Amino acid sequence: MTEIFPSKRVPIPRNGVDYRGKVVLAPMVRSGELPSRLLALRYGADLVWGPETIDRAMIGTTRRINPRTNTVEFTRLSSNGLKNPALNPDQRESIIYRIHPELERGKLIYQIGTANPETAVQAATLVAGDVAGIDVNAGCPKPFSTSGGMGAALLRTPDKLCSILEALVKEVGQVFEIGISVKIRLLETSEKTEALVRKLVATGITGLTIHCRTTPMRPRERAIRQQLRMIASVCREAGVACVMNGDVEDREQALQLIQEYGVDGAMLATAAEKNPSVFRSKEQGGKLPWFVVSQEYFRMALSVENRWGNTKFLLAQHMMGKDPKYQAMNQGKGYEDCAMALEMHDLREEAANLDEVLGITNRQPRAEKRARAREFTAQMELAPPKKAKQDNVLQILNIPHDAPAVAV
């Protein structure tokens, strides 16, 4: 792509990537997991952002290679489920973040949720060797993020945001030779936005993404683009790449908006969540039918052993709700059921095997788990202390009194 406004540039580190001339996948919780990113890349996305991952969730994880999928997984013992771990013997490690080192090499940007320079550096250091860049989320308006001083809350504490970016540039970007970037939202006035952007581009970052909505705005409200040219100009002046986000529907529109507003790149979110083939160019035939995309997504999810709940959620975004295939998929309990619903009979055996690997076939129904938890609580309230209490636990869990000790 020809650059309209030649300018100075902040140097792109050896292991980093330039955001200029790129049409990219936005960071989306649930919709930015590995199979979604891989499918976006297959359809033509130039770069992909992973879902926002909170710094404290990554700190303490273990990096491992999954020998079946050749993916890199950052895992930790799950804290989900029942408050009484003994009632959940199938408890497994949680995969906090998953990467495909071959297919995502030089294409993946890790987005971090943070409100603290020290924990940001700790978390980013763990993953920096496996990604092409670290992006700070300073735009998420959801309470789970802002209540902890993260996301869009950082727009109200610009000095803290700058300190986070400066720490990441110095202690992660320079060490691992990757770029550091930030994603923000518009402020109430053009003057306030400009003042913020000028501070951010002076921290040593290589890229800035602007979501063309203010913090209170919801996705159904149309994006505001009046400030885009100003933001692009400030970024260009500092040599920082500027990427726009908000109501970008496909690659063709992305390229048109890049030209119209003088930005360096464009980011697709909702449209790509519904149908990632929006990254295909006009010459490639453009967007594909939903059923084709659903089948391709299923193959991708199966190949990387994606969590079934996430796979089901994404298929629900891709498929037509009134279609019988959607109804069959939605009622399915795992990958084998889904393979049949999508008429992918050749994958039925592989899907059934993955159900076994993920523990789906032997999964205890949620209602039964809750009933056992209530029974456990009731028994503990009535039981006498110490030895008798232990005996009650063993009886409820059907564990023999002379059974060997098991670490949980």
- Contact predicate 306/34, CB 8 Å: yes
Residue 301 contacts residue 95 (beta carbons within 8 Å): no
**What mean pLDDT comes out for the span 187-214?**
97
Q: Is 140 a catalytic residue?
A: yes
- pLDDT, one tens digit per residue, over 309-328 is 999 999 999 998 889 999 99
pLDDT at 378: 62
Is 173 or 384 the better-scoring residue by pLDDT?
173
- Report the DSSP pairing between strands 71-77 and 62-66: antiparallel
326 or 87: which carries more pLDDT confidence? 326
For residue 372, the model assigns a pLDDT of 58
Model confidence, pTM: 0.85
What's the pLDDT score for residue 369?
Answer: 53
Q: pLDDT higher for 266 or 408?
A: 266
Give the Cα separation of 255 and 23 in Å (integer): 8
Distance separating alpha carbons of residues 269 and 119, to the nearest angstrom: 28
The per-residue pLDDT for range 54-77, each reduced to its tens digit, is 999 999 999 999 999 999 999 998
DSSP H/E element including 96: strand 93-99
Instruction: Give the residue-averaged pLDDT of 375-382.
Output: 58
Query: What are 208-228's pLDDT values in tens digits?
Result: 999 999 999 998 999 999 999
- List C-alpha distances in Å: 203 to 4, 156, 337, 389: 25, 17, 51, 59
Among residues of the chain, what percentage have pLDDT more than 90?
A: 78
- CATH architecture designation of domain 22-279: Alpha-Beta Barrel (3.20)
Question: Does 396 have pLDDT greater than 50?
Answer: no
Domain ranges of the chain: 22-279, 302-358, 366-396
pLDDT surpasses 70 at 366: no
Mean pLDDT computed over 272-284: 97
**pLDDT score at 93:** 81
Mean pLDDT score, 13-22: 98
Q: What are phi and psi of 248, to 5 degrees?
A: -95, 120
Residues 104/41, Cβ–Cβ less than 8 Å: yes
Q: Which residue has the higher pLDDT, 360 or 101?
A: 101
Chain mean pLDDT for the chain: 88
Give the separation between CA 168 and CA 379, rounded to whole angstroms. Answer: 51
Kindly compute the dihedral angle of the four CA atoms of residues 281, 184, 8, 165, in this order, to the nearest 10 degrees: -130
